[in-house]
Structure 1
C-alpha cells in the first residue's frame, strides 16, 4: 500500500469524524463510496444512505452534542484503525435494551475504537465498524 494512499485514507477518516461532530451529514456521506455502519455492540447494520442518515438522526436525538476525540489512528491494508473518546450529553430519550431512558442531562465519555474499511485503491470508505463495550454509554450515564 502506498504511503500517499494511507495518508489520504487517514485524512478521510479525520475529516469524516470531524464532520460527524458538526452534523455536516452531506459531507459525511461524501466520505463513503457506499455508506454503511456495522455496530459491533448491538450487531445492527445501517446500509445505504437512507439508513445511515436515519442512524445519524436517531443517535443525535439522544445526544445532540455527540463528539469524538481521536486518541490514535493508523492505516493497514484497506483499513484505518482509530481509537477515540466518544462523549455527549443525554438530552433526549435514549432507546436501549428494550427500554426508553428519559433525558438525564448527564454527560458521558467512553473510550472506543473503530475500523474504517476502504474500497481497494481508493480513499472512500465502504464500511465503518465502531467497537465499544456493550452498554458502555448506559453505564457511563449511571443508568445501569
Structure 2
C-alpha cells in the first residue's frame, strides 16, 4: 500500500505473483499487469495525492486484512457515468478495507480485494 502512495508502480507490480485487483463495491476486475497499471492511471488522475492511513491489520492463513482511511484531493478530471467532473480541489477521507491473498508459502500477492462503498468518494466531494 505504501508503494501505491508514492506511485512506485513497478514496485507494486513486483509484489504480485500475477497482478489482480477485484474491486468489491463496483465489481470491476483488473487482471494482469496492463489492466492493473490502467487502473492505477485511471484512479490517480483525479486524485494524484491519494493515500491511506492504516487503522488495523490482521491475518489468517495466506490472507492479510487491512482496514484503512483512503484520502485524497480532487485535483484532476474525474470520469463518472455520463460525465466528467472537473477538479474541485475538495479533499476526501473514507473508511475502507482490503484483503491481500498470498500464494501459499510465498510473499507474493495473488489478489488484492478492496471493499468499499463506491459512492462514498462522490458523497465526500459533494457530487452525489
**TM-score normalised by structure 1 residue count:** 0.86
CA apart distance, 1:99: 2.8
Aligned-residue Cα RMSD (Å) equals 0.9
Distance 2:23 2:59 in 1: 20
**4+ residue segments displaced more than 3 Å:** none
Q: Which runs of 5+ in 2 are unaligned?
A: none
- What is the match of residue 15 of structure 2? 31
Q: Which runs of 5+ in 1 are unaligned?
A: 1-16
Which structure dedicates a bigger proportion of its chain to strand?
2
- What is the match of residue 89 of structure 2? 105
- What is the match of residue 142 of structure 1? 126
**TM-score normalised by structure 2 residue count:** 0.96
Q: Does residue 1:74 correspond to 2:58, yes or no?
A: yes
> Which of 104, 111, 118 matches 1:120?
104
CA apart distance, 1:95: 1.4
Which structure dedicates a bigger proportion of its chain to helix?
1
CA apart distance, 1:78: 1.4
Distance 2:72 2:96 in 1: 13
> Which of 40, 46, 71 matches 2:30?
46
